[in-house]
A and B are shown apart, each in its own frame.
Chain A
Amino acid sequence: MIWTIFKKELKDTLRDRRTVMMMIVIPTLIFPIILNVFVGISAGFEKEAAEKKVKIGLCSTQTSRLEQELMQLPKELGKKQFIPMSDTTKVMEAIHSDSIQIGLYIPANVKEYLAKKEAIPVVIYYDATEMGMKERAETYLNYISEKLRKERLIELKIDERKLIPISMNYRNVASDKEMIGKLAGGILPYIFIAFGFLGCMYPAIDLFTGEKERGTIETLLTTPVARWKLLVGKMGVVILSGLTASTFSILGLFFSIEVLHVVESKELLDIIHGILTPGFIALLYCLLFPLIVFFAGIMIPIAVRAKSFKEAQSIISPLNILIVLPAMVGFFPGVELNTITALIPVVNIVLATKELIAGTLEWPLILLAFATMCALATLMVVISYRKFGDEKNVVN
């Protein structure tokens, strides 16, 4: 009987355009679109920044060695144009009006500083809201500074190596897989969770509040089918919709990587292929299944209680933020799965998935996270059953 109800509800759900959009179309397209736009825009910005001719206001006597070095900077460091300026007030005004992007104040007595082998106090004017301008100024001055430092060392007859008391040699023991898992591994569970929630939302509202609103629940409840069977059949479709939305979002991501080639680095691609093994995917679904049941269990009592589609939507939509925000914990590299985080719903699954991606599994903690979510999912199913069984809720 549950199977009969499940099949009917699934058919009904798949014929609802709004649900199909949320369950399949949007999750599939969102990553190819976002990644393409993102990659396109960032590549465009990089190109534009590299090609951009930076106008540098030079407030100095323009006769010292430093000015000469500035004029002879290699072209590879970026296009630039020096504009002589009389005072720093004009430099600041020019930066504000964007007629120059950087201003350099070089003191008149550069020769003295050079002779005494002291640091020349150069003032750099820039607008922090203009990305990359401070860095461009630093690049130019560091280039000259390094050149002058080397000259001084030669003049002073000092071996540069003798100025370095400790030579630091780093050996990274984390594998590339671990690095990706710990640093970027949060994105995968985040996507899964965000779309899992959205995927559950419309079917939950449609199959419970919608039935109430359309008056179909009354006829359904007069059939000789136990209410728990009706609930399980309907809930099954809500869970399947959540899992389908998550799966399609991952497929969209996979499509972006494999077909649209948004990841160009071969090493990175090899690591991604190494992560996405059948075993990993099976474990990922094992972790995410109770979470999606938990989501369905949160939404169903709300949908059962709500009197209209709008009312249910207005309660569940803001809940989305509450549920998905904890999933962002996965983006912070320092947060790890431990006995406390394993007990926090959503956070535990995000962190467990990160461990899974990084290959640094601690089975007792993973099992604790899984058991926590199973317990919470069961609790929410019980609450859903009680609400669905309450006659005040099922009929308007």
Chain B
Amino acid sequence: MNPMIRVEHLTKTFSLNSRQRKELGTTDTTVTAVDNLSFSCEPGRVHALLGPNGAGKTTTLRMLSTIFQPTSGTILIDGIDAVKDSQEARRHIGFLTGSAGLYARLTPNELIEYFGKLYDVPKEILLERKEKLFSLLDMHDFQNKRIGKLSTGMKQKVSICRTMIHDPQVVIFDEPTSGLDVITAENIIHLINDCKSQGKTVIFSSHIMSEVDLLCDDISIIYQGKLLFNDTMDAFRNQMQAPNLTSEFIRIVQQSKNVAL
């Protein structure tokens, strides 16, 4: 099967100003957030990007979603070069973060229509898809209320609807359950499973091992921007030296730390 996402030798460096150098206690003028990362994601599979805070997960996902330009390396989304033709690549991507990222002064109805238009979804298809998603997520009751007045769970439903309104082939989740209660997080878990069953390619970043265990088919562990492990979940389980997934994740990261020292 051809991978839907192919990442090769992806590197991202940021320049540091004097204040940032002082904060990081370094004299270097640049910092490498992502260092020569290569992996691929296939349709109908969920790929987890796992790493501790500051490992480079969000930077990687921001490059995949074309918010950031890589310093070097290539990203292919459904065969489209996401670096050279970022606008076209974005049509195939849905992006969701834990912080809902919604316009509080708009209603769910207005917001979904706005994003549908931004994705150039034809009017009839937009209305049909909106109705379907609103029914699926049980959003009709609050579709005309201002988003700012909705509960966190309702907001997350709006966020899911916004992500899926253009029926993307690739769905990127950046720590989607971070800061959410269990019931709200459950909506996200459902969404990821639905995407998988619809044959979509899902990539999501997390540092919660139980979530990864529950959802993922493939796993990439990154630490300090470098790829430490990249294989299927089954392969990960088979090579485990620690008693459980969390301990194994910590062991791999710790091992990398020791090598670096």
Q: In angstroms, how far is the closest chain B Cβ from the Cβ of A53?
A: 61
Closest A residue by C-beta to B96: A219
Q: Say yes or no: A224 contacts B97, CB within 8 Å.
A: no
Closest A residue by C-beta to B174: A218
A8 within 8 A of B: yes
Q: Say yes or no: A215 contacts B105, CB within 8 Å.
A: no
Tell me which residues across on chain A come within 8 A of B14, comparing CB atoms. Answer: 392
Complex partner residue of B69 from A12, A219, A391, CB under 8 angstroms? A391
Q: Say yes or no: B110 contacts A222, CB within 8 Å.
A: no
Question: How many residues of B are in contact with the other chain, CB < 8 A?
Answer: 31
Q: Say yes or no: B90 contacts A215, CB within 8 Å.
A: no
Complex partner residue of A226 from B87, B110, B117, B120, CB under 8 angstroms? B87
Question: Which of B24-32, B59-67, B224-232 sits within the interface?
Answer: B59-67
Complex partner residue of B67 from A1, A15, A224, A391, CB under 8 angstroms? A391
- Give Cα distance in the complex from A391 to B71, angstroms: 12
Q: Say yes or no: B88 contacts A224, CB within 8 Å.
A: yes
Tell me which residues across on chain B come within 8 A of A5, comparing CB atoms. Answer: 118
Q: Say yes or no: A4 contacts B118, CB within 8 Å.
A: yes
Complex partner residue of B110 from A11, A215, A218, A220, CB under 8 angstroms? A11
Closest B residue by C-beta to A223: B118
Tell me which residues across on chain A come within 8 A of B102, comparing CB atoms. Answer: 216
Q: Say yes or no: A395 contacts B67, CB within 8 Å.
A: yes
Which residues in window 199-253 of A have CB below 8 A to B?
214-216, 218-226
With a 10 A CB-CB cut-off, give which of B14, B97, B100, B114 has the most chain A CB atoms: B114
0/1 per residue, B72-115, Cβ < 8 Å to A? 00000000000000011011010101011111111000100011
- Give Cα distance in the complex from A395 to B69, angstroms: 13
Closest A residue by C-beta to B118: A223
Tell me which residues across on chain A come within 8 A of B101, comparing CB atoms. Answer: 214-216, 218-219
- Give Cα distance in the complex from A77 to B87, angstroms: 82
A16 within 8 A of B: yes
B162 within 8 A of A: yes
- Give Cα distance in the complex from A222 to B110, angstroms: 18
Q: Say yes or no: A15 contacts B68, CB within 8 Å.
A: no
- Give Cα distance in the complex from A394 to B68, angstroms: 10
Complex partner residue of B106 from A8, A392, A395, CB under 8 angstroms? A8
Complex partner residue of A219 from B68, B88, B162, CB under 8 angstroms? B162
Closest B residue by C-beta to A8: B114
0/1 per residue, A11-23, Cβ < 8 Å to B? 1100110000000
Which residues in window 107-131 of B have CB below 8 A to A?
110, 114-115, 117-120
Q: In angstroms, how far is the closest chain A Cβ from the Cβ of B75?
A: 14
Tell me which residues across on chain A come within 8 A of B162, comparing CB atoms. Answer: 219
Tell me which residues across on chain A come within 8 A of B117, comparing CB atoms. Answer: 1, 4
Complex partner residue of A16 from B66, B105, B119, B120, CB under 8 angstroms? B105
Q: Say yes or no: B91 contacts A224, CB within 8 Å.
A: yes
Interface bracket on A: 20 to 34
Closest A residue by C-beta to B105: A15
- Give Cα distance in the complex from A168 to B198, angstroms: 98
Q: Say yes or no: A225 contacts B103, CB within 8 Å.
A: no
Q: Say yes or no: B104 contacts A214, CB within 8 Å.
A: yes
Q: Say yes or no: A12 contacts B90, CB within 8 Å.
A: no
Q: Say yes or no: B97 contacts A222, CB within 8 Å.
A: no
Q: In angstroms, how far is the closest chain A Cβ from the Cβ of B144?
A: 14
Q: Say yes or no: B65 contacts A391, CB within 8 Å.
A: no
Known contacts A224-B91, A225-B118: does B67 contact A218 (CB below 8 Å)? yes
Tell me which residues across on chain A come within 8 A of B90, comparing CB atoms. Answer: 222-224
Complex partner residue of B87 from A16, A224, A391, A395, CB under 8 angstroms? A224
Tell me which residues across on chain B come within 8 A of A216, comparing CB atoms. Answer: 101-103
0/1 per residue, A354-396, Cβ < 8 Å to B? 0000000000000000000000000000000000000110110
Closest A residue by C-beta to B111: A8
Q: Say yes or no: A221 contacts B87, CB within 8 Å.
A: no
Tell me which residues across on chain B come within 8 A of A8, comparing CB atoms. Answer: 103, 106, 110, 114
- Give Cα distance in the complex from A234 to B195, angstroms: 33
Q: Say yes or no: B106 contacts A391, CB within 8 Å.
A: no
Tell me which residues across on chain A come within 8 A of B88, comparing CB atoms. Answer: 224
Which residues in window 35-72 of B have CB below 8 A to A?
62, 65-69
Q: In angstroms, how far is the closest chain A Cβ from the Cβ of B252?
A: 29
Q: Say yes or no: A215 contacts B99, CB within 8 Å.
A: yes
Complex partner residue of B119 from A12, A224, A394, CB under 8 angstroms? A224
Tell me which residues across on chain A come within 8 A of B105, comparing CB atoms. Answer: 11-12, 15-16
Tell me which residues across on chain A come within 8 A of B119, comparing CB atoms. Answer: 223-224
Tell me which residues across on chain B come within 8 A of A215, comparing CB atoms. Answer: 97, 99-101
- Give Cα distance in the complex from A394 to B69, angstroms: 13
Q: Say yes or no: A218 contacts B95, CB within 8 Å.
A: yes
Interface of A with B (CB < 8 Å)?
A: 1, 4-5, 8, 11-12, 15-16, 214-216, 218-226, 391-392, 394-395
What would 20 A/B residue contacts be, using CB atoms closer than 8 Å? A1-B117, A4-B114, A8-B106, A12-B106, A16-B105, A214-B103, A215-B101, A216-B103, A218-B62, A218-B97, A219-B95, A220-B118, A221-B66, A223-B90, A223-B118, A224-B90, A224-B119, A226-B87, A391-B68, A391-B69
Interface of B with A (CB < 8 Å)?
A: 14, 62, 65-69, 87-88, 90-91, 93, 95, 97, 99-106, 110, 114-115, 117-120, 146, 162
Other CB < 8 Å A-B pairs besides A15-B146, A215-B97, 5 of them?
A16-B105, A219-B95, A224-B87, A224-B118, A391-B69
